[in-house]
Amino acid sequence: MAIHTLLFASLLIFSLIPSSREGNKGRLFSVLQNSLDVTVLEAGKDMVTIKWKLKSSGKVDADATFKTIQVKLCYAPISQVDRPWRKTHNELFKDKTCPHEIVSKPYDKTPQSLDWTVDLDIPTGTYFVRAYGIDGDGQEVAYGQSSDEGRTKNLFSVQAISGGHVSLDIASILFSVFSVVSLLVFFVKEKKKAKLEQRE
């Protein structure tokens, strides 16, 4: 009972920490300006080259409020089917389209380029890249993405690692065999012992 109360109490304390971070709820994706130009080029077996710059067709001082640029890897709609944990929401704090951060750096008004090696924990799927322009308060003010508005063009796919290793498979088989064999050895030994003792 005491352990349970302790767990529950520490749980309440844990829970108070994240709830204080929900200050900027309600920020919508649809209010963001599409003022960034993002392009993605496949550059090797596990690398992509990402380029971003301010759109020349937009307002001259569209980037006045940018303090940070955050570039993220996002799921294309086809990779979101039947997977509600990747769902697109208009509220930015709820939106799960872009869970993987590629880079977050201070905003430099010049066009940028990055060669990014795809992380080992990126799942198999179809993706595009989105960049958010973030102001001094940590709020998103603008975005740009490598795909179109419907997120159907210029997509690229990633084939993930399986996570399996030969050494893992071997260890797995060894322990399984050990389990079965030691059981049978015990069983046979005890039966033999019982037979011997019965004869006495």
198 binds another protein (CB under 8 A): yes
Least distance CB 150 / another protein (angstroms): 21
Q: Per-residue contact track with another protein, 59 to 88, x per CB under 8 A? A: ----------------------xxxxx---
Least distance CB 182 / another protein (angstroms): 7
166 binds another protein (CB under 8 A): no
23 binds another protein (CB under 8 A): no
Least distance CB 62 / another protein (angstroms): 30
CA dihedral 168, 173, 174, 180 (to 10 degrees): 150
CA–CA gap between residue 94 and residue 90 (Å, rounded)? 8
150 binds another protein (CB under 8 A): no
Going by the DSSP 8-state scheme, the letter that residue 46 receives in this structure is S
Least distance CB 66 / another protein (angstroms): 25
Residues 109-138, interacting with another protein (CB under 8 A): 120-121, 123-125
The CA–CA distances, whole Å, from 152 to 78, 148, 149 equal 9, 6, 8
Q: What is the 3-state secondary structure (H, E, C) of 124-178?
A: CEEEEEEEEEECCCCCEEEEEECCCCCCCCCCEEECCCCCCCHHHHHHHHHHHHH
Tally Cβ neighbours within 10 Å of residue 79. 18
Question: For another protein, which residue of 45, 61, 164, 200 counts as binding (CB under 8 A)?
Answer: 164
The residue type at 173? I
Upper half-sphere CA count for residue 2 (Cβ side, 13 Å): 0
Least distance CB 170 / another protein (angstroms): 10
Closest CA to 140 of 27, 23, 14: 27
Which residues in this chain contact another protein in the complex, by CB under 8 A? 1, 3-4, 7-8, 11-12, 14-16, 18-19, 81-85, 120-121, 123-125, 160-165, 168-169, 171-173, 175-176, 178-180, 182-183, 186-187, 190, 194, 197-198
